[in-house]
Amino acid sequence: MQRYSALSLLRQGLAGHKGWQSAWSKATPKPAYDAVIIGGGGHGLATAYYLAKAHGLTRVAVLERGWIGGGNTGRNTTVCRSNYFFPESVALYDLALRLYEGLSREINYNVMLSQRGMLIAAHTPAQMEICNRIANAMQINGVDGKLMGAAEAAAKVPLANTAPDARYKLMGGIWQGRAGTARHDAVAWGYARAASALGVDIIETCEVTGIDVQDGAVTGVETTLGPIRTERLGIAAAGATPGLMAHVDVTLPIHDYALQAFVSEPVKPCLDTVLLYLGTGTYVSQSDKGELVFGGGLDRVPTHGQRGNLPVQEAVTAGLLEMFPAFGQLRLLRQWAGVVDVVSDSSPLIGPAGPEGVFINCGWGTGGFKAIPAGGWLLAHLLAKGTHHEISRPFDLRRFAEGRLIDEAAGSGIAH
């Protein structure tokens, strides 16, 4: 790996990084691959890395219509957690969290995982009952979860509104100490570099325009850079997945919505946990640069646009000020939206779909970033083995026909 001194870093910056070594190779398509992955976000890149690292498949191509990490991976609030209700969900998201915990060492790239803990705060007896149920479920399923009372919860967030006339009184909540945040672009770049070093071809500005099928099995894809043959196709394209699957006449139960996020101007350290208020749906953490990163619920208008709007900004910011009145003096630095692919039971779709050899990883809703390592690990297993890993099996598309829904929004009382 190329190393730079402080002086050489300064020179590179002044020169526009023209002599900077690329983190991954800019590949051009080969005629055929053992596996092709559509989607150059976190899930697609993680899939490619684990295919090469864990399964020895290196004749792999990742096809990205834009640039690496330019979709939802670069448009989120970076929270990592596994505080879910159903055992299937806990197994899935805790696999991701365990992989995150060792990821920087494994790929030799600092993804800046900060396990500062997360508090889900309750404000009514009914919400405390929900928190009690989730904490019990987490402990039963072998994941760290603790029910906190009002005093202990308030000690975690000293600036929180605890005034007698507070609209949302802090009654307590669920604490997960292993939860936290990671750096979104570092996750994408780290997986890209590690996969490229193992021989994976990462091909940007390459849009898939069709999927070739013969005798009920996939044979390749059509792209803006020409046809590519493969008998194993993984699709990790989030909200673009339904359009891709339409090429093989498969309809997916996915709706796309905008999830907006906001960043304040930087301030001195004042919040060392991730905090979610059940009463408002607003969540917030403080970045290493001092910015407050916060968001709220979905804008329930179907869209593919990565744009924010003022009504949601007003609602989410009002929720933040209910939590922390002192933040009212801060200025908003920037705002954006990511397109989230939501399934009716608020759980992802992982498994075979349509022609033989096609496997999907999508429908993560607002949980996509926190699940990147697990999504990649499980899709790689499917592509390499042709069968489910025990953790991915419950999230197969067939659960809708068989009535095996995993409704996390209903189980935990909040929309995930």
Q: Domain of 381: which CATH number?
A: 3.50.50.60
> Residue 103 is which amino acid?
L
Mean pLDDT of 133-139: 93
Residue from 256, 280, 20, 93 nearest 170 by CA: 280
Asked if residue 286 belongs to a domain, the reply is yes
Q: Are residues 70 and 145 in the same domain?
A: no
Domain boundary, last residue among 291, 316, 341: 341
What is the separation, in whole angstroms, between the first and last Cα of the chain? 39
| pLDDT tens-digit map of 213-252 | 999 999 999 999 999 999 999 999 999 999 999 999 999 9
| pLDDT tens-digit map of 59-114 | 999 999 999 999 889 889 999 999 999 999 999 999 999 999 999 999 999 999 99
Three-state SS at 153:
helix
* Residue pair 383/218 in contact by the 8 Å Cβ criterion: no
Q: What pTM does this model have?
A: 0.94
Q: Are residues 321 and 408 in the same domain?
A: no
Token digits for 124? 């009514």
Q: Cα–Cα distance between 79 and 294 in angstroms, integer?
A: 10
Q: How far is CA 335 from the centre of its chain?
A: 18
Q: Are residues 300 and 327 in the same domain?
A: yes
Q: Are residues 336 and 188 in the same domain?
A: no
Residue 416, pLDDT score: 46
Asked if residue 264 belongs to a domain, the reply is yes
Domain boundary, last residue among 302, 323, 341: 341
More confident of the two residues 347 and 20:
347
| pLDDT tens-digit map of 310-355 | 899 999 999 999 999 999 999 999 999 988 999 989 999 999 999 9
Q: Which of 106-110, 165-169, 382-386 has the lowest mean pLDDT?
A: 165-169
* Residue pair 192/23 in contact by the 8 Å Cβ criterion: yes
Q: Which of 2-11, 363-372, 386-395 has the lowest mean pLDDT?
A: 2-11
Q: Domain of 263: which CATH number?
A: 3.30.9.10
Asked if residue 7 belongs to a domain, the reply is no
Residue with tokens 């290196």: 58
Q: What is the largest CA-CA distance in the chain?
A: 69
Q: Are residues 172 and 271 in the same domain?
A: yes
Residue with tokens 């864990």: 54
Q: Which of 17-26, 121-130, 369-378, 397-406 has the lowest mean pLDDT?
A: 17-26
Q: Which of 184-188, 269-273, 403-407 has the lowest mean pLDDT?
A: 403-407
| pLDDT tens-digit map of 390-409 | 999 999 999 999 999 998 87
Residue 191, pLDDT score: 98
Length of the chain: 416
Q: Are residues 209 and 356 in the same domain?
A: yes
Q: Are residues 31 and 174 in the same domain?
A: no
**How many domains does the chain fold into?**
2
Q: Is the pLDDT of residue 376 over 90?
A: yes
Domain boundary, last residue among 321, 341, 361: 341
Q: Sorting pLDDT into bands at 50, 70 and 90, what band is 411? A: low
Task: Give the range of the structural domain holding residue 150, as residue numbers without chain letter.
Answer: 118-179+255-341
Asked if residue 10 belongs to a domain, the reply is no
Mean pLDDT rounded to a whole number for the chain: 93
Three-state SS at 262:
strand
Residue from 199, 245, 227 nearest 354 by CA: 245
Q: Are residues 362 and 317 in the same domain?
A: no
Q: Are residues 265 and 308 in the same domain?
A: yes
Residue 22, pLDDT score: 83
Eight-class DSSP state of 242: H
Asked if residue 203 belongs to a domain, the reply is yes
Q: Sorting pLDDT into bands at 50, 70 and 90, what band is 4? A: low
Q: Are residues 327 and 368 in the same domain?
A: no
Residue 9, pLDDT score: 73
Q: Are residues 144 and 217 in the same domain?
A: no
Asked if residue 11 belongs to a domain, the reply is no
* Residue pair 321/161 in contact by the 8 Å Cβ criterion: no
Residue 412, pLDDT score: 54
Asked if residue 5 belongs to a domain, the reply is no
Asked if residue 14 belongs to a domain, the reply is no
> Residue 42 is which amino acid?
G
Token digits for 59? 């004749």
Residue 13, pLDDT score: 77
Q: Is the pLDDT of residue 380 over 70?
A: yes
Mean pLDDT of 146-158: 96
Residue 303, pLDDT score: 84
Residue 254, pLDDT score: 94
Q: Are residues 287 and 165 in the same domain?
A: yes
Residue 3, pLDDT score: 62
Q: Sorting pLDDT into bands at 50, 70 and 90, what band is 297? A: confident
* Residue pair 37/63 in contact by the 8 Å Cβ criterion: yes
Mean pLDDT of 269-288: 95
